Amino acid sequence: MEQVLSRRLAAVLCADIAGYSALIGADESGSVAALKGHQTAVLQVLQRHGGRVVDLAGDGIVAEFSSTVAAVEGALAMQALMAERNADVPAGKRMVFRVGINQGDVVHDDNHIYGDGINIAARLQTIAEPGGVYVSGKVYDEVRDRLKASFRDLGERKLKNIARPVRVFEVVVAGAQRRSRLPDGVAVEPRRPSVAVLPFDNMGGDSEQEYFADGVVEDIITALSRFKDFAVIARNSSFVYKGRAVDVRQVAQELGVRYVLEGSVRRAQNKLRITAQLVDATTGAHLWAERFDGTLEDVFEFQDRITGKVASLVEPTIRWAEIERSRRERPDSVEAYDLYLRALPMHLSQTRDANAEAIGLLLKAIELEPNNPTYLVYAGNAMLHRSTMGWLAIGEDDTAQGIELVERALANARDDAVALSLCSMMLIHNLRDYDRGLELTRRAVEINPNNLTVMIFAGITHLHLGDLDDAIAYSEHAIRLSPSLDGAHWPLTAISHAHMAKGNFEEALAWAKRSLSANPSFVCTYWMLAAASAHLQRMDEARRHVATLRRLSPGVTVARVWAAQPQKDPSRLAAILEGLRLAGLEE
C-alpha cells in the first residue's frame, strides 16, 4: 500500500550538544550515560511546552510544535534546565545544547517530518552559540510581540544547502530592554565595522612558547580596541578557535564581524618572525598580508605596525594622527614583558598556587620596570585577591602591599584605560573609595569604550554606585563585544542585579537564567535566581536555587552575601537579601 504524505505548518526545533564528539573521545561510556540523563530531562520540558519529539538520534533532538511561541518558550526552558544540571559538572565535561528554530511547511508521514522547515532549523542549530537559541526571520515575526523577549539581529546568513539567505535572530533573554546608546554619549552601533583577531599559530615548535604567541595577539586586540570608530571582538570569544582549522567566513558569521586578522609567530631564541593577514570575510578577499622579521626587541614595533595597518584598512575615516596617538607606550624591557606574559594566564586562573606564581613573576617584572602600570595593577590585583580569599600570605601584609601597588599603578597609568578600570574596582571593593573609583571608571570609558574589561567594570561600578540604566547599557555593550558565552556571566549577572534593584523581578530572573547558561558555577547568579523566584512566589524553584547555592558556597548566609557586596547605597541589595530570606537562606 502506498504511503500517504501530507503537509502542515509547524515550528521545528533542532538541538544538539556542542563539541559532543570531543566529549565522546575523552570518555565514551560516561558521556553516553550523561547524555541519556540529559535527554530524558529535556524531553520532559519540551513535551510540557507542547512539543512532539520526532527524532532522537545520537546527541540530536528534533521536535515539532503547533505553536511557534511554545517552541521558543520550550527552547529557553530547556537551556535554563541544562544550565542548572551543569552547575556541579567540571567545565570539560559539561554538555551544552545549541538550538535552532524555524517555522514552515513540513512534509510528514506517521513517524518522520521532512522539508525546508526542518532543514533550516537544523542549519540554524549548527551556527548557534553553545547555550544559545537562534531563530529564523519567520519565527521572529511570529513571536516578537507575543513574548517578553529581546532579539539580537544577526543579519542575513547563507546557510549550507539552503538556496536563499535566511534572516537570523538570537533570542537574547526575556524582558530585555535594549538601548541604542551608552551613557555619556558613547554610541553603540552594531553594524559599524568590526574585526576579530584569531589566535596566531605558534610556529616555533616549542609548546612552552605558546604563551608568547597568545600575548602578542592579546596586545594587538587591546591596541585595536582603543579605536572608537570600530568594534573589536574580545579575546575570550576569538580564542575559542585556538588550535582549530577554521573557515574564516564561518568565523565571521559566528562572531558577527566583517574582518578577520590571522597570523603566526615564530620565536627562536632572540629571533622573531610574525606574519599577519587581514581578510574581508564577506568576500574572502585578502586585504593585506605582511611578514615581519627581526629580533625579540622588535616585537612592539611589529605589533604597532600591524595595528596601524588594520585600523587604516578597516575604518578609512581614521586619520593617521589618531593612529599615532593610539600607539601604546612600549615596555622598556623585553625580559619584563616576557615575565608578564608568563604571569597572565596564571593570574586569570585565580587558583591559590597559580596566583602565588603569578605574583612572583609580576614582582620580578616590576623590578625591571618599576613604573609600568600594567605590571603594577596586575600584581596589586593578585595580592588583594589573595588577601580576600584568605590564602597563605606571600609577604608580611598582602593587603597593604596590594594597595601600594595599585596606588603606584594609578600614579603611572595616565591614559591606560584597562589599568584605570582595574584600579577603580580595587578602590571600590577593597578600600570603599567610591568617589575616586567612579571617576576612574568614567575616565576609562571616555578613553576606550570598545575594550571588554573597561565595559564590564563600568557596568559593575554603576551597579554598585552609579546609574542603574547606565549599568545595564554598559553591560549590554560588553556582551556585544564578547559574543562567546565565556566570561559573559559577569555582565549578564550585573544586568540581573540592576533589574532586582529596580523591582523588575521577571526581567531579573530571565537575565540570571541566561547567565546560568554562560557559567553554571557563578555563585552570584544563584543569588538572583533564588531571590527573583521567591519574589515571584515560585517557591519550589527558589528553594532549588538555594540548595545549589549551598553546594557551590558552603556556609553561605544572608549576612555573607551582604558582606561580599561593596554597595554605597544599601537599598540596591535590599530586594536580593529579602528574596534570599523568603527562599529559606539562613541569616
The top-scoring range by mean pLDDT among 157-171, 174-188, 304-318 is 157-171
Alpha-carbon distance values, 513 to 195, 496, 533 (Å): 29, 9, 11
Q: Region 327-333: what's the mean pLDDT?
A: 58
pLDDT of 344 > 80? The answer is no
Write out pLDDT tens, residues 397-443. Answer: 888 888 889 889 888 887 788 888 888 888 888 788 888 888 899 88
pLDDT band at 539 (very low <50, low <70, confident <90, very high): very high
What pLDDT is recorded for position 483? 60
What gap in Å lies between CA 108 and CA 115, rounded to an integer?
9
What gap in Å lies between CA 182 and CA 470, rounded to an integer?
7
What gap in Å lies between CA 293 and CA 298, rounded to an integer?
9
pLDDT of 123 > 60? The answer is yes
What pLDDT is recorded for position 5? 56
- Report the Cα–Cα distance between both ends of the chain, in Å, rounded: 71
Write out pLDDT tens, residues 19-74. Answer: 777 777 777 778 888 888 888 888 888 988 888 888 777 788 888 888 899 999 89
| pTM of the full structure | 0.54
Instruction: Enter the C-alpha cell of residue 587.
Output: 541569616
Write out pLDDT tens, residues 247-300. Answer: 777 777 777 777 888 888 888 878 888 888 888 776 777 878 888 888 888 787
62-88 core/surface letters (b: 16 or more CB in 10 A; e: else): bbbbebbbbbbbbbbbbbbbbbbbbbe
Write out pLDDT tens, residues 557-569. Answer: 888 878 777 778 8
Which domains are seen in the chain, by residue range?
6-173 (3.30.70.1230), 194-328 (3.40.50.10610), 485-587 (1.25.40.10)
Write out pLDDT tens, residues 491-500. Answer: 889 999 999 9
What gap in Å lies between CA 508 and CA 494, rounded to an integer?
10
Residue type, 338: D
Which residue bears the cell 538601548? 179
What pLDDT is recorded for position 179? 34
What gap in Å lies between CA 414 and CA 434, rounded to an integer?
20
Side-chain half-sphere CA neighbours of 286 within 13 A: 7
Q: What is the CA radius of gyration of the chain?
A: 25
What pLDDT is recorded for position 497? 93
Q: Region 512-531: what's the mean pLDDT?
A: 85
Instruction: List 290's β-bridge partners, or say none.
Output: 276
What gap in Å lies between CA 377 and CA 416, rounded to an integer?
11
Residue 89 DSSP one-character state: S
pLDDT band at 183 (very low <50, low <70, confident <90, very high): very low
Write out pLDDT tens, residues 146-167. Answer: 776 677 777 777 777 777 788 8
Contact 13, 65 (CB under 8 A): yes
Among the listed residues 99, 102, 100, 174, the one whose alpha carbon sits nearest the alpha carbon of residue 138? 102
pLDDT of 535 > 90? The answer is yes
Phi-psi region of 269 (alpha: psi -120 to 50; beta: other; left: phi over 0): left
Annotate 17-86 with DSSP letters as a single string: ETTHHHHHHH-HHHHHHHHHHHHHHHHHHHHHTT-EEEE--TT-EEEEES-HHHHHHHHHHHHHHHHHHT
What gap in Å lies between CA 475 and CA 497, rounded to an integer?
11
The top-scoring range by mean pLDDT among 107-111, 205-209, 312-316, 536-540 is 536-540
Contact 80, 59 (CB under 8 A): no
Helix (H) / strand (E) element for 515: namely helix 505-518
Alpha-carbon distance values, 466 to 437, 442, 457, 511, 524 (Å): 11, 10, 12, 20, 20
Q: Is the alpha carbon torsion for 398, 401, 407, 413 positive or negative?
A: negative
What pLDDT is recorded for position 188? 34
* Residue positions counted in the chain: 587
Alpha-carbon distance values, 29 to 90, 293, 307 (Å): 17, 49, 47
CB-CB neighbours of 161 under 10 Å: 8
pLDDT band at 177 (very low <50, low <70, confident <90, very high): very low
What pLDDT is recorded for position 101? 92
Contact 295, 270 (CB under 8 A): yes
pLDDT of 474 > 60? The answer is yes
Write out pLDDT tens, residues 448-465. Answer: 777 788 888 899 899 888
Average pLDDT of the chain? 79
Instruction: Enter the C-alpha cell of residue 3.
Output: 504511503
Q: Which residues contact 3 (CB under 8 A, 6 or more apart)?
A: 109
Contact 99, 13 (CB under 8 A): yes
Q: Which residues contact 449 (CB under 8 A, 6 or more apart)?
A: 182, 186, 228, 455, 477
pLDDT of 371 > 50? The answer is yes
Residue type, 199: P
What pLDDT is recorded for position 53? 84
Contact 119, 162 (CB under 8 A): yes
What pLDDT is recorded for position 186? 40
Q: Region 133-144: what's the mean pLDDT?
A: 88
Instruction: Enter the C-alpha cell of residue 382.
Output: 593578585
Residue type, 528: M
Alpha-carbon distance values, 582 to 26, 264, 511, 553, 569 (Å): 43, 55, 20, 19, 22
